[in-house]
């Protein structure tokens, strides 16, 4: 009697489901990378120059030392008062206000970023005068 098995076991592997999963993961990561934006400051860093720049004596100078003490035109000021005074000057100025930020060497970035945040909030041009 010639009996044959009716079902043969197939040794094939289908790649269709695997390629579908890879395609869906690719779409997922592309969408997520477009949504996530880095939280950083948009800085325009200047080049170095050896020439002396003449500044207007009426330009407010904001200094900050390593310990986080702020000075406006040489007088010590609290961060809250600095915000209020710069806001008042920006509102009373007929044109856009310019300030210079002069951090002491090795001052933590968070103190400089605090002043830059105030300048951005009140649309003030901030010039960073850093030491080498």
Q: Which residue has the higher pLDDT, 47 or 17?
A: 17
Does this model's pTM top 0.85? My answer is no
- Secondary structure (DSSP) of 5-20: -S-PPP-----HHHHH
* End-to-end Cα distance, the chain: 98
pLDDT band at 32 (very low <50, low <70, confident <90, very high): confident
pLDDT the model gives residue 15? 79
CB 125 within 8 A of CB 119: yes
pLDDT band at 14 (very low <50, low <70, confident <90, very high): confident
pLDDT over 90 at 40, yes or no: no
In the chain, the domains with their CATH numbers are: 61-128 (3.30.420)
Strongest mean pLDDT among 28-42, 49-63, 75-89: 75-89
Mean pLDDT score of the chain, rounded to an integer? Answer: 81
Residue range 58-116, pLDDT digits in tens? 788 999 999 989 999 989 999 999 999 999 988 988 888 889 999 988 888 899 999 99
């Amino acid at each position: 009697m010639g009996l044959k098995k009716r079902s043969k076991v197939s040794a094939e592997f289908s790649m269709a489901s695997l390629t579908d999963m890879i395609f869906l993961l690719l779409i997922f990561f592309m969408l997520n990378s477009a949504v996530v934006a880095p939280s950083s400051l948009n800085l325009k860093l200047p080049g170095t120059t050896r020439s002396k720049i003449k500044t207007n004596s009426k330009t407010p100078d904001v200094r900050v030392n390593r310990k986080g003490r702020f000075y406006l035109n040489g007088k010590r000021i609290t961060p809250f008062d600095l915000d209020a005074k710069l806001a008042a000057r920006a509102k009373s100025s007929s044109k856009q206000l310019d300030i210079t930020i002069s951090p002491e060497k090795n001052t933590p970035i968070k103190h400089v970023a605090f002043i830059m945040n105030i300048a951005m909030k009140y649309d003030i041009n901030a010039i960073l005068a850093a030491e080498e």
